[in-house]
Chains A and B, each alone.
Chain A
C-alpha cells in the first residue's frame, strides 16, 4: 500500500468552526490532491499541489484552502465549516503522470 495517512479519520464539528484535515505521505511524491466524495457525484477535486508551496484550485474549491510547507504534508482547511461540507474527504498522491493512490479517507460531519 502507498504510504498515505489521513488525520483525523472521523470528525464531528459545528457550523462556523474552522477545521483542518491532514494528509501525510512517506513516498516523496511530488503531487498531492484533496477530493471530496458525495453520493451521486463520485469524487470531485478540491485543491491540488504540484510541489512545496505550489497549489492550485480544483472543481469545488470554494470554502476550502490548502497549504503544503513540506513534501510529505498537505493540509486542507475549511475556513468556516458549513453543513454542505459534510462529506468523506480523500487525499491522493502521485508521481508525474502516474496513477493516483488514495489515502484511507476522513469522514467529516458538520452539524
Chain B
C-alpha cells in the first residue's frame, strides 16, 4: 500500500528565510505532484515531476524528485507572506487511472 508522508506538518517562518518541505513515499511511482491550498479554497496545481532528477521552479518555489530515495522536496527561497498556504504532495498510485495518494499537507505561515 502506497503511503505518503510530509514533514513538517506546520512551518512558521520569517519573511526572507529559506526552508524545505519534504515528501517521502513508500513504493515506486513515476509521478509526483505538488499542490497549494489557500484557506477555504480549492487546490491549485504547482508542479508535476515526471522522472528521477526532475527539477521545476516557479518564482520562489523549487521542487525536485529523487525516485531512488522516494523523496521529493519543495524548497522555498526568501519567503514572502503571500506564500502562506497549505502545501500538499501527491503521488501517482500507478496504473492507467492516475489515482493520487496525498500527503497530509504542510501548513506554511510566513511571518512579516
Q: List, in ascending order, chain A residues with CB within 8 A of B45's CB.
A: 99-101
CA distance A45 to B42 in the complex (A): 15
Interface size class of B (residues with CB under 8 A): 20 to 34
Q: List, in ascending order, chain B residues with CB within 8 A of A101's CB.
A: 45
Residue from A43, A96, A103 within 8 A of B98 (CB atoms): A96
CA distance A48 to B35 in the complex (A): 19
B69 contacts the other chain (CB 8 A):
no
Give the distance to chain A from B7, nearest Cβ to Cβ, in Å. 13
The binding surface of chain B is classed by DSSP as strand
Asked if A103 and B97 make an inter-chain contact with CB atoms under 8 angstroms apart, the answer reads no
Would you give the 0/1 interface string for A43-74, flagging 1 where the beta carbon is closer than 8 Å to chain B?
11100101000001011000000000000000
Chain B residues engaging chain A, CB cutoff 8 angstroms: 4, 31, 33, 35, 41-45, 48, 88, 90, 92, 96-105
Listed A/B pairs (11) with beta-carbon separation below 8 Å = A33-B99, A33-B100, A40-B104, A42-B88, A42-B104, A43-B90, A96-B98, A97-B96, A99-B45, A104-B41, A105-B41
Top 8 nearest A-B pairs by Cβ distance? A42-B102, A102-B43, A43-B102, A42-B104, A102-B42, A99-B45, A104-B42, A50-B97
